[in-house]
Amino acid sequence: MKTYRGRFMREAELRDLGVAEVGENVAVHETCVLVAMENMRFGSNVRIDPFTLLSAAGGWLRVGDFVHVSSHCAIMAGAGVELADFAGVAAGARILSRSDDFSGGHLTGPTVPAQFTSATADRPVRLGRHVVVGAGSVVLPQVEIGDGTTTGAGSIIIRSLDPWGIYVGAPAKFLRNRRQDIIDHESRLRAAMAAGEVDLPVARL
């Protein structure tokens, strides 16, 4: 397969650029923008697709194992963002960990001194294990999405979501429970890895 400007940066290059911690089989596309790389930690078997923005300025970003962030996403981790193992962020999604007060009670924007603003940043955003954030969705500050939960495309997540649900809409509302077969699949994958029986896709990029 031939590609044009389709190069992924791998572990050694990411470490040389200043990423604090990088596991094995990590691939970040060269068109991504990484801000405050010293505050980022990537687990193993991680892929970040083209034209995605990761910013940990003033905060931290922790990415677990087997995490995929698709293209044209933005993760603004100024107040901290965690993506636990097997989490996925579909194309065009936004994760915001800090927000200005837009009520008119304070000035807004990054060009204004902090004492004249009132940013929301009481706790970090966390996506639990096996969470999938649907394409074009927006996750707002202080939200925790429980293990196994997924959100439909275009959802706006304004509050924390319980584990193992499927949520859709703006704001996101519970639709139905999600199947938990993936727990067994994870166990089988880890057993196959331990036995050397699988070829991990990230390594083939």
pLDDT score of 119: 76
Of the candidates 3, 8, 46, which has an alpha carbon nearest to the alpha carbon of residue 201? 46
Q: Which residues on adjacent β-strands are paired with residue 133?
A: 89, 151
Give residue-wise pLDDT tens across range 174-194: 999 999 999 999 999 999 999
CATH: 1.10.3720.10, 2.60.40.650, 2.60.40.60, 2.160.10.10. Which one for 8-98+121-204?
Answer: 2.160.10.10
For residue range 55-100, what is the model confidence (pLDDT) as tens digits? 999 999 999 999 999 999 999 999 999 999 999 999 999 999 998 8
Q: What are the angstrom distances between the C-alpha of 8 and each of 22, 36, 151? A: 14, 19, 28
Rounded CA-CA distance 20/176 in Å is 39
Convert the pLDDT of each residue in 107-142 to its tens digit: 988 899 988 888 776 689 999 999 999 999 999 999
Whole-number Å distance between alpha carbons of 149 and 137: 14
For β-strands 144-145 and 125-127, DSSP reports them as parallel
To the question of pTM greater than 0.75 for the whole model, the response is yes
Question: In angstroms, rounded to a whole number, what is the distance separating the alpha carbons of residues 125 and 128?
Answer: 10
